[in-house]
Structure 1
Amino acid sequence: MSESRALQLETALRDAGVRITRQRKLLLSVLADCADHPDATELHRRAEAAGAGVSLATVYRTLTTLQAQGVIEKLEFQGEPARWEPADQHHHDHMIDVETGQVIEFTNDRIERLQAEIAAEMGYEIVHHRLELYVRRKPTA
């Protein structure tokens, strides 16, 4: 999957007129392998560890271009740097651990039904939505 995702990201950059350098190719590979929601600094760190030799400015420009091409989404959680995830994922919501910064994806049919019911009661239908829950672990007794 990550190889096809890397190719999708590369194609999006080419379509935007961006030259694919060795450094960008390594960055795209790192981004395609992400199973979490990294911010630009973390992506830069991972790309550097992979030997990309890419600047943080290039990471930001690349992410912005990929977002404009619709292949990644920018997630802006309260009080956190922007994070990134593939745009082609199934619908899901996020819980953000306020103590660790961990982002947990989840889906819940009851929540989805309730949101649709509330919108319908008010004469609307949902076109798009995002749900973010800011959480902390309950203390153990």
Structure 2
Amino acid sequence: MDSTLLSRAEAAGLRMTGQRRTVATVLEEASDHPDVEAIHARAAALDPGISIATVYRAVKLFEEAGLLERREFGDGRARYEDAERDHHDHLIDLQTGEVIEFVDPEIEALQERIAARLGYDLRAHRLELFGVRRGSGRG
């Protein structure tokens, strides 16, 4: 990523209030895929006066500006990640909800070959795998 979420928001012409800056900082520092409630908890640790409504509005603003990507991993919660992160896919643990990011060159090449075989140039894709850890007794 060449620039921060904050600098990209400013470059997009968004009015960056102090609380929006706090939300942007929380999102920049996130190594997971937080939902709005988690973003709010982290933002409130930096600014106890920030409301969850403010976080919802900031996240929506960043998403509409193309700065954030909304992800849904089957648990009923929308989660967010920076839209300019390097490409990766996701494996979601159905027992714990853990989201594991991975990149596999073989999968990438296979998707390109499938698209070409069907007469397409692939522009984007999302791969989400859902599973349970082997030996867990479920599934």
TM-score, L = length of structure 2: 0.86
Aligned pairs, number: 136
Give the match's secondary structure for 2:100. strand
C-alpha spacing 1:74/1:12, structure 2 compared with 1 (3 Å): farther
- For the aligned residue pairs, the C-alpha RMSD in angstroms reads 2.2
**Structure 1 contact 10–20 (Cα < 8 Å) conserved:** no
Where does structure 2 lack aligned partners over 5 or more consecutive residues? none
Give the unaligned 5+ runs of structure 1.
none
Given candidates 85, 89, 94, the residue that maps to 1:89 is: 85
CA contact (8 A) 1:9 1:28 kept: no
Instruction: Give me the identity figure in percent.
Output: 43
- Alpha-carbon deviation of 1:10? 4.8
* 1:8 maps to 2:4: no
Structure 1 Cα separation of the partners of residues 9 and 110 of structure 2: 39
Deviation at 1:140, TM superposition (A): 6.8
Q: 1:72 to 1:12 in 2, by over 3 A?
A: farther
Instruction: Identify the residue that residue 120 of structure 2 maps to in structure 1.
Output: 124
1:7 aligned partner, one-letter code: L
Over 3 Å counting, the alpha-carbon distance change for 1:12 and 1:135 in structure 2 is farther
* Contact map agreement 1:9 1:71 (CA 8 A) in 2: yes
Alignment of 1:30-41 (within 5 A): 30-41=26-37
1:98 to 82, 94, 99: 94
Contact between 2:9 and 2:62, CA under 8 Å: does it hold in 1?
A: no
Task: Output the CA distance in 2 between the equivalents of 1:82 and 1:42.
Answer: 11
Q: Secondary structure at 1:104's aligned position in 2?
A: strand
- Counterpart residue identity of residue 76, structure 2: E
Name segments (4+ residues, structure 1) moved above 6 Å.
none
